[in-house]
Chains A and B, each alone.
Chain A
């Protein structure tokens, strides 16, 4: 079957989808977005967490056909999502790119003749939570990281100043085997503190 959906603001179409495929499989194997991870495929680890119409869900448990017409944000779109939110364009995760904008969308700027695919040293725009994970040492093997980022970003979207217990509850659906979670807590605290410092700096 064919599935149409919007991913990270861009309309996407997947063809020849087997009816038993998950949204996770479609993202990873058909749409070239392997950022969402396939760690358990039973909703127990959260590595495949995406926003579906703004709501964090395990994409391994969404049948591909159920995503028809829906709006999906994955870790690959997190930076843009956070940027739009900061600009006041979107606070819910449901508002992606407009139709006109989507039509003008390009995967990556075409590389200059003879140049490598990505320009060395080019700064990569990261969402605040992504930067915080790097800075706090919350990334080791990194396999749980994409799902944790999507879940943590959504937590901070609805609760700018979470307590440790709030963070633990919000991330209790995301397993990490490397870090013992301490640095992940640090990262979420860091992102929250930076956002507050920035807000205070604006006098808001």
Chain B
């Protein structure tokens, strides 16, 4: 075996970057990719940051270090809802080694921030609304000093009545958690504890219901899932001589952070300079601020660099989670298997602060039907303010919860009709041209039936693999694994299918754009492109793809990926499966502009030497300007000489529209993506333990810009869906306190829980998207969960309406 692509990393650390140096490794930046082959789109080129990541030199946010640096620590509320009656920081301040203690009273400017609603206190302002809410900050010379000092901050709390669910949130006499709401949804909600409500109405449900031969309803519940990215929230804030601050940070969206941080610091945005540090995964959990403003506040207060690193315990309180949901669904179908109507109500628990709850509502509502053609729809999705942990973005974003419910319903309706569940789905599958319940006609391929066909056609994994060794049982292949709970007793196999639909990009009229700066110059006689964006590389491989796009568009081999920072325009968030589409699109667009400039320069310099300059279609290839016939006209280095082309442009996808507040009608989403799964599980039916044997996936990706990365995204997303199906849940006690904020009790799949994940990738181009690509990251997270649960239902015969499925549910205990 050999690889055809060689990759090396280069250190092009600039003088400014050397203010943060981390002996002995260079910063995770300034990556130049050399490729022995062309290395353009469609190839599985290797990560430019791979070498740094395998040698331990890649500098994640928690790895940063600065001379004279202090450690920040956050004191958090032990109560879910309480009035703060007094705060005494004097003993903490007297602790040797402590440089600053800050509470709400010490904030210099704006005291609240938020992604969509400015409702989140920087530090609690007399009331705490969830367990773990930040109350005070300490900066000290050692993390232990900071912790000890924080323990000496005396806070008196007067507990307040709790809002924990729909009944307590929407009661007439419910405590109103945000009495001074001024957000754009506030005027339209029926209760101030409702963040947002989105109905979707289409067709005539009453008439359709009368025609339905079978009507099947069900109630479903989705637990609170955590992103559980491995790199904890962290960053380093360095005060600057100009009164500003430099923040080195792991985030998903630099400019959104900046927009929220600057007012809190009372600084203009140009005095808050942000540079992306190494990011240890994100999955939505870094879309909101965590310690960003806190570190900057402490740095400006003390005049010293301040580093904050959450530990795993604190990380569970430091970011939002996936909305837990309660869903009621009712489908009607004719005897021949046609879905005629859907009624649904989806209640999402947004927790104490809004975060992106409103957008999650929009997704849950508009994608509530799933990838099916249903003409008559009456759906309502709402998100609530409660005293539970704040919830917001996580991979799948509202579509995950809906998919669990509608896919359970599909199996139920099929069973009621006596139909094969896959055939039933295929019969009702949407296609290109189908109208969504929002009225939006899907105008690119929607191969839902084909994806199902493909996963169903994959060969089945052999039965009783634990016996294949010949002697005894290999417990590693059985439910319970190494815990030695069964040698085959009680083990039953089940198979389940599911398919899902996810929107790509920001929706509902959001101005979703990205910015790319591309520079082309000749270095030592060789053309080199530099791509500079503010895209947060969180592991997804955007940096790999950007280099591929630049090679394809500019015909160069060497591409340097500039560190992501706020010195270039916004790239938008690394979320919503959007970065390859939107920032990839921006890079392509800027490269095209650079190419035009090169050709202009070429015509000017060499146009008189060859008629093709004026007449032929020209492209850049192999470091040269060539005709469409392949004739080389000039080397790029000769065209450029010592001139550099440097272009920064914004690029947007076609606009979307807000959904109508009453009917939910509108062109809400720019693109849809589809994935289907087949799960094969083995269940120890006596102990209720599950072993997933295989999770086959088929997904349409439009165009795989980097097939290796695409498959990695699909397998990773699939595994997070598996986790939600059988183990992952943040458990909140009746008193609103989180009971399992640790990796001991919040379980994510290990390699022994994760099966073989064969992937079948379809490439049906979306003509509206760059290269025809389709966002990849989230769709596989949707259908994985219901497929696994369907397989467990198949093995056990149980209804199983809640995820994660626990042994108690299977054993009736």
User: Which chain B residues (715-760) contact chain A, with CB distance < 8 Å?
Assistant: 715-720, 742-744, 748, 750-752, 754, 756-757
Number of interface residues of B (CB under 8 A): 78
Decide if A18 is an interface residue (CB 8 Å cutoff): yes
User: Pick the contact of B11 from A21, A107, A116 — CB < 8 Å?
Assistant: A116
Query: Does A134 lie within 8 Å of B56, measured CB to CB?
Result: no
Nearest A residue (CB) for B228: A177
Which residues of the partner chain B approach A194 to less than 8 Å between Cβ atoms?
A: 1
A47 contacts B144, CB within 8 Å?
Answer: no
Minimum distance in angstroms from B721 CB to a CB of chain A: 10
Nearest Cβ in chain B — how far from A72, in angstroms?
13
Docked-complex contact B716 and A178, CB < 8 angstroms: yes
CA distance A41 to B144 in the complex (A): 15
A74 to B7, CA, bound (A): 24
Q: Is B371 an interface residue (CB 8 A)?
A: no
Any A CB within 8 A of the CB of B539: yes
User: What is the chain B residue whose CB lies nearest that of A174?
Assistant: B751
Q: What separation, in Å, do the CA atoms of A183 and B757 have in the docked complex?
A: 10
Residue interface mask A185-196, B partner, CB < 8 A = 1? 100001001100
Cβ–Cβ < 8 Å partners of A140 in chain B: 281, 539-541, 712, 716
CA distance A197 to B1 in the complex (A): 9
Contact with A along B5-27 (1 / 0, CB 8 A): 00111111100000000111110
Residue on B nearest A121 in the bound complex, by CB: B8
User: In the complex the two chains form, is A137's CB within 8 Å of B230's CB?
Assistant: no
Query: A108 and B752: CB pair below 8 A?
Result: no
Q: Is the CB of A124 within 8 A of B51?
A: yes
**Is B508 an interface residue when CB atoms closer than 8 A count as contact?**
no
Q: Are A37 and B8 in contact (CB under 8 A)?
A: no
> Measured between C-beta atoms, what is the minimum distance from B559 to chain A in Å?
14
- On chain B, the residues within 8 Å of A171 by CB distance are 751
| CB-defined contacts of B467 to chain A, threshold 8 Å | none
With beta carbons under 8 angstroms apart, the residue of A21, A123, A124 that contacts B55 is A124
List the A residue with the shortest CB-CB distance to B312: A40
Partner of A118, one of B26, B539, B744: B26
Expressed in whole angstroms, the Cα–Cα distance for A142 and B47 within the complex equals: 11
Choose from B10, B11, B232 the contact partner of A39 (Cβ within 8 Å): B232
Q: A38-B309, A75-B55 are in contact. Are A141 and B538 (CB under 8 A)?
A: yes
Q: Indicate whether B92 reaches chain A with its CB closer than 8 angstroms.
A: no
Nearest chain A residue, comparing its CB with the CB of B234 = A38
Interface presence of A146 (CB below 8 A): yes
Contact call B56/A35, Cβ cutoff below 8 A: yes
Complex contact B55–A79 (CB within 8 A):
yes
A61 to chain B, nearest CB (A): 13
With a cutoff of 8 Å between Cβ atoms, the chain B residues found around residue A74 in the complex are 56
- A32 close to B22 (CB less than 8 A): yes
Q: Indicate whether B58 reaches chain A with its CB closer than 8 angstroms.
A: yes
A183 touches B712 (CB 8 A): yes
- Which residues 145-195 in A have Cβ within 8 Å of B in the complex? 145-146, 149, 165, 167-169, 171-185, 190, 193-194
Contact A123 B8 (CB under 8 A): yes
Query: Is A70 an interface position by the 8 A CB rule?
Result: no
CA of A174 to CA of B752, assembled, Å: 10
Could you count the A-B residue pairs with CB atoms below 8 Å apart for me: how many are there? 216
- A123 contacts across to B, CB distance below 8 A: 8
- Which residue in chain A gives the minimum CB-CB distance to B280? A143
Contact B51 A33 (CB under 8 A): no
Beta-carbon nearest neighbor of A34 in chain B: B63
Indicate which residue in A32, A76, A131, A178 contacts B281 across the interface (CB closer than 8 Å).
A178
Is the Cβ of B751 less than 8 Å from the Cβ of A145? no
Query: Contact check: which of B9, B229, B743 meets A44 at CB < 8 Å?
Result: B743
**Docked complex Cα distance between A21 and B147 (Å):** 13
* Residues of B contacting A201 in the complex (Cβ-Cβ under 8 angstroms): none
User: Which residue from chain B places its CB closest to the CB of A25 in the assembled complex?
Assistant: B143
Determine whether A68 belongs to the interface, using a CB cutoff of 8 Å to chain B: no
Q: How large is the interface on A (under 10, 10 to 19, 20 to 34, 35 or more residues)?
A: 35 or more
B window 22-81: CB within 8 A of A: 22-26, 32, 34, 44, 46-47, 49-51, 53-60, 62-63, 65
Question: Is A175 touching B748 in the complex (CB atoms < 8 A)?
Answer: yes
**Residues A35 and B55 in contact, CB atoms below 8 Å apart:** yes
B63 touches A28 (CB 8 A): yes
Q: Does A86 belong to the interface (CB within 8 Å)?
A: no
Query: Once the chains bind, are B279 and A141 in contact (CB under 8 Å)?
Result: yes
Residues of A within 8 A of B757 (CB): 180, 182
A47 touching B51, Cβ below 8 Å:
no
* Bound CA span A78–B541, Å: 25
Q: How far is the CB of A55 from chain B (nearest CB, A)?
A: 19
B283 at the interface (CB under 8 A from A): yes
Q: Is the CB of A135 within 8 A of B65?
A: no
Complex contact A42–B716 (CB within 8 A): no
Selected from B23, B60, B540, the residue in CB contact (under 8 A) with A107 is B23
- CB pair B55 A130 closer than 8 Å: yes
Return the chain A residue nearest B476 by Cβ: A165
> Within 8 Å of chain A (Cβ to Cβ): is B142?
yes
Q: Which residue among A79, A116, A122, A167 has the maximum number of chain B CB atoms within 10 Å of its CB? A: A116
Q: Is the CB of A168 within 8 A of B751?
A: yes
Whether B53 pairs with A145 at a CB distance below 8 angstroms is yes
Asked if B709 lies at the interface with its beta carbon under 8 angstroms from chain A, I say yes
- Chain A residue contacts of B750, Cβ below 8 A: 172-173, 175
Select which of A42, A117, A137 is within 8 A of B742 by beta carbon.
A42
| Cross-chain contact of A76 among B55, B65, B474, B744 (Cβ < 8 A) | B55
Given the interface contacts A142-B49, A143-B280, A180-B719, does A175 sit within 8 Å of B230 by beta carbon? Answer: yes
Interface residue from B11, B32, B56, B756 paired with A34 (Cβ < 8 Å): B56
Cβ of A126 under 8 Å from chain B: yes
**Is there a chain A Cβ closer than 8 Å to B798's Cβ?**
no
- The distance from the CB of A73 to the nearest CB of chain B, in whole angstroms, is 12
- Assess whether B531 is interfacial by the CB under 8 Å rule: no
> B223-241: contact bitstring with A at CB < 8 Å (1 yes, 0 no)?
0000111111000000000
Task: Tell me if B3 counts as interface (CB < 8 A to partner A).
Answer: yes
- What distance in Å separates the Cβ of B72 from its nearest Cβ neighbour in chain A? 14
A79 and B717 CA atoms in complex are apart in Å by 31
Q: Give chain B interface residues in 555-606, CB to chain A under 8 Å.
A: none
20 extra interchain contacts, Cβ-Cβ under 8 A, other than A134-B54, A180-B717? A34-B22, A39-B230, A39-B231, A39-B280, A40-B311, A75-B54, A124-B51, A141-B231, A141-B279, A141-B281, A143-B231, A143-B281, A168-B752, A177-B281, A178-B716, A180-B712, A181-B715, A182-B754, A182-B756, A183-B715
Listed A/B pairs (15) with beta-carbon separation below 8 Å: A28-B63, A34-B63, A36-B56, A42-B744, A44-B742, A47-B230, A130-B54, A131-B54, A133-B54, A140-B716, A141-B539, A177-B281, A177-B748, A180-B717, A182-B715
